[in-house]
Amino acid sequence: MEERFGPWQLRRRVHVGEYADVTEGTHASRGGEAIAVKRLHLHTARDPGLRALFARECALACGLAPHPAVIRGLDAGEVEGRPWLAMPLVRGEDLRALVGRAAPPDAARLGAGVCDALAHLHGAGWIHGDCTPANILVSADGVVLCDLGVARPPDEPGPVRGTHAYMAPEQVRGEPWTPATDLWALGVVVWELAAGARLFLRDQPWLTMAAVVDDEVPALSDPALDAVVAPLLRKDPAARPASATEVSAAFAALC
C-alpha cells in the first residue's frame, strides 16, 4: 500500500487492531528513516472516550524516559480528524510466533527482558495492563514492550480493560491495578512460551475470565522455570513477588 497521510508517506501495514492500525512510513524531515505510525481507525476516532484514551497513550509514550525495552513516542498529531502517534519501527516478530518454540532458557531470557521493561514502567508510576505476546516484540537487540493504550497509574479506578486471557484476577473483577497485575500477565506469557499452549483461553470471553479467577495452573515440565513462574500466577496479588526487578533476577539466573 502507498498512502499520503499528512506529513507521512505510509507504505506497509504492520498491525491492525480493534481500535487502531500501525503502518510503516517515512517523513521528509527524518531523512527517509522508517517509522511506525499508529492511527485510530476512522470510526474509533469519532469516539470521544477512545480519543481521550489515545491522547493519554501519546502523552505517556512521548513523555516516558527512554528505555531500550519499552516503546517510545517520537511525535504525535492529527490529520483530518485521525490522531496519530509516531514510534521507532521495531524489526522483528511478536511473541505469538515463539509460543511452543521457546526452550526454557529462552523463555527465561525473554521473561527477564520483559521484566526490565515493566520495572521501567512501574518506576515511572504506570501499570501496563495489557502485557500479552502480541504486545511484546523480539528483535536482534532484545524485547520491546509495546502498546501503552490501556496503561494507568497504580490503584487508579477505571473500567475493565485488557486482553481477557492475560488479565489478572483482580483485573477481571474490576479492582485497582498494581505492579502485581503486570507480573501475572508476564507469568501467563512465559508459561505459554514454555508449554506451547494457551493457559486460560476458552471459547467465550466470560469463560476465559472465569478460568482466570478459578482455574488452577498446571506446573511446567521444567521445575526450575516453574519455580519462577508459579509465584507470578498466584490468585492473590499480595502473594506474588514484590517487584519486576526481583523477578528479572530470578529469570536471569536460569539463562
CATH number at residue 243: 1.10.510.10
Task: Inform me whether the pLDDT recorded for 104 exceeds 70.
Answer: no
Is 209 in the same domain as 123? yes
Domain around 198 = 93-252
The pLDDT of residue 128 is 97
Catalytic residue numbers?
130
Of the listed ranges 21-25, 58-62, 109-113, the one predicted with least confidence = 21-25
User: What pTM was computed for the model?
Assistant: 0.92
Tens digits of per-residue pLDDT, 119-158?
Answer: 999 999 999 999 999 999 998 888 999 999 999 999 888 8
Query: How far, in whole angstroms, is CA 73 from its chain's centroid?
Result: 15
70 and 163 co-located in one domain = no
Domain count, the chain: 2
Of 223, 136, 232, nearest to 183 by C-alpha is 232
- 233 and 112 in one domain? yes
Count each helix (H run) and each strand (E run) in the chain, helices first.
7, 9
pLDDT higher than 90, residue 28: no
Mean pLDDT over each residue of the chain, to the nearest integer = 92
The answer to whether residues 147 and 78 belong to one domain is no
- What's 49's domain CATH number? 3.30.200.20
> Is the same domain home to 32 and 104?
no
Give the C-alpha separation, 1 to 161, whole Å. Answer: 32
Do 179 and 55 lie in a common domain?
Answer: no
Question: Could you tell me the pLDDT band of residue 98, with boundaries at 50, 70 and 90?
Answer: confident
What share of the chain in percent tops pLDDT 90?
75
Q: Is the dihedral of CA 173, 176, 177, 181 positive or negative?
A: negative
Name the domain boundary from 72, 88, 104: 88
pLDDT at 230 over 70: yes
List C-alpha distances in Å: 57 to 103, 109, 187: 34, 28, 24
Residues 155 and 224 in one domain: yes
All three cell numbers of 38, joined, read 499508529
128 and 83: one domain?
Answer: no
